[in-house]
């Protein structure tokens, strides 16, 4: 069960949004809420929002909704996208002219154990309410490599129009897990640029002095703003749906056969 401690956005040098998950009310509620309605997030897979308490949002993506893109290892997902910022006149707007940073701070107490389980943040151009399915969403996330079995930080592009989700970069953090308390995931863009960068920081607050134990980037810069002029911030978690073992399937088949045999005997008498 991934745990998100804080989720925030900087525009230029100004913090324009921060959710510390300390009001005990699950998303879609949050800091942007109006007087009568929760207006902070649009939530996908709301069943996976399971607890908000003491500054922590606990997510159970196995209780979420089926993933929209089929080319990933994940089967189900839960995420929340901040609703603000698709209109240029809005002070929350994140356009080409703006510099911005999207941050998500997660606990390291619950890590992926199989490929397809993940937690992370997105810079997304997806806004289905105004007709944009999204073709340049970028996701930095912690998952398990299906090749090495290492806990790894990945950068993935999500193209909901063409059902594509290539991995663009990855770095193993397996050797850094001992003692790490939290991981901060960051997506950032400079002003008057359409190029996004991704990075991470690992923290150990049991150490004296600087709590950062490791930090790094994920390669090149990546292009945004293809067919739209806005980006929105999102947090995201995914999981796999367990598949029955072959032995379990065989037992299930025997049980169904026995039930059919008993039903036929009763029908014939």
- The answer, yes or no, to whether residue 37 has pLDDT greater than 60, is yes
- CATH domain 3-243 topology: Jelly Rolls (2.60.120)
- The answer, yes or no, to whether residue 262 has pLDDT greater than 70, is no
DSSP characters over 119-172: EEEEEE--BGGGTB--S-EEEEEEEE-TTT--EEEEEEEEBTTTTB--EEEEEE
- Tokens representing 101 are 């940073």
Pairing of strands 118-124, 137-144: antiparallel
CB 27 within 8 A of CB 48: no
Residues 6+ apart with CB under 8 A from 252: 244
* Range 162-167, long-range pairs (CB < 8 A, 24+ positions): 162/135, 163/69, 163/70, 163/71, 164/69, 164/71, 165/69, 165/71, 165/72
Residues 127-176 pLDDT 10s: 887 778 888 899 999 999 988 999 999 999 998 888 889 999 999 999 98
Domain boundaries, the chain: 3-243
The strand ranges marked E within the chain are 3-11, 14-19, 41-44, 49-53, 56-59, 65-66, 76-82, 100-107, 118-124, 137-144, 151-158, 167-172, 182-189, 195-203, 212-217, 222-223, 232-239
pLDDT band at 265 (very low <50, low <70, confident <90, very high): very low
Question: Taking the CB of residue 26, how many other CB atoms lie within 10 A of it?
Answer: 20
Mean pLDDT of 12-22: 94
What H or E segment, with its residue span, contains residue 263?
Answer: helix 246-268
Cis ω on the peptide bond leading into residue 63 (within 30° of 0)?
Answer: no
pLDDT band at 241 (very low <50, low <70, confident <90, very high): confident
CB 93 within 8 A of CB 83: no
Residues 50-92 pLDDT 10s: 999 989 999 999 999 999 888 888 899 999 999 887 888 889 9
pLDDT band at 106 (very low <50, low <70, confident <90, very high): very high
User: Nearest to residue 158, comparing CAs of 186, 128, 124?
Assistant: 124
Distance CA 207, CA 82 (A): 34
- The answer, yes or no, to whether residue 258 has pLDDT greater than 50, is no
- Tokens representing 19 are 């959710």
Provide the β-strand partners of residue 152.
143, 172
Mean pLDDT of 104-115: 92
pLDDT band at 208 (very low <50, low <70, confident <90, very high): low
Mean pLDDT for all residues in the chain = 86
Residues 174-197 pLDDT 10s: 998 887 899 999 999 999 999 999
- For the chain, how many residues are written? 269
Identify the pLDDT of residue 245.
Answer: 57
């Amino acid at each position: 069960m991934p745990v998100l401690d804080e989720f925030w956005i900087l525009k230029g040098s100004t913090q324009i949004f921060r959710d510390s998950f300390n009001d005990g009310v699950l998303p879609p509620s949050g800091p942007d809420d109006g007087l009568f309605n929760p207006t902070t997030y649009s939530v996908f897979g709301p069943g996976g929002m399971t607890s908000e308490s003491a500054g922590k949002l606990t997510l159970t993506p196995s209780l979420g909704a089926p993933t929209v893109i089929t080319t990933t290892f994940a089967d189900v997902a839960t995420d929340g996208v901040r609703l603000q910022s698709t209109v240029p006149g809005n002070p929350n707007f994140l356009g080409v002219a703006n510099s911005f940073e999207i941050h998500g701070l997660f606990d390291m107490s619950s890590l992926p154990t199989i490929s397809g389980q993940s937690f992370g943040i997105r810079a997304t151009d997806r806004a289905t309410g105004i007709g944009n399915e999204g073709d340049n969403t970028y996701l930095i996330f912690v998952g398990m490599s299906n090749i090495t079995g290492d806990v790894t930080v990945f950068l993935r592009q999500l193209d909901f129009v063409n059902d594509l989700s290539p991995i663009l970069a990855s770095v193993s953090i397996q050797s850094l897990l001992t003692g790490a308390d939290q991981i901060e995931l960051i997506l950032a863009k400079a002003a008057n640029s359409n190029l996004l960068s991704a990075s991470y920081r690992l923290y150990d607050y049991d150490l004296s002095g600087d709590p950062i134990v490791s930090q790094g980037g994920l390669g090149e810069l990546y292009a945004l703003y293809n067919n739209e002029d806005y980006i929105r911030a999102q947090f995201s978690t995914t999981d796999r749906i367990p598949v029955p073992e072959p032995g379990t399937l065989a037992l299930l088949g025997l049980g169904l056969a026995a039930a059919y045999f008993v039903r036929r005997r009763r029908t014939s008498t």
